[in-house]
Structure 1
């Protein structure tokens, strides 16, 4: 896996409505409405799943 992108200061993502709803649900349920924490959790889950493949 190419890890050169880890040096980036910012990343731009385009999210669809379904994913935004999932982020908001996770933020409300698990992170006291903190959307940034929910995004970090979901990204961490995605990266772990990707590493398993």
Structure 2
């Protein structure tokens, strides 16, 4: 919803996708969970204006 506004403020062009995911809370120890393979952050993330 705010992609264009945030992109303008940080100077990101239209070819970039702005994405942020946040997980809050504590992991429950007794719940089965699926662990997935993740790509290295350097392969998938570009920091603009840092």
TM-score per shorter chain, which class? 0.3 to 0.5
With normalisation by structure 2, the TM-score equals: 0.34
Higher relative contact order (CA 8 A, sep 6+): 2
**Structure ID, larger Rg:** 2
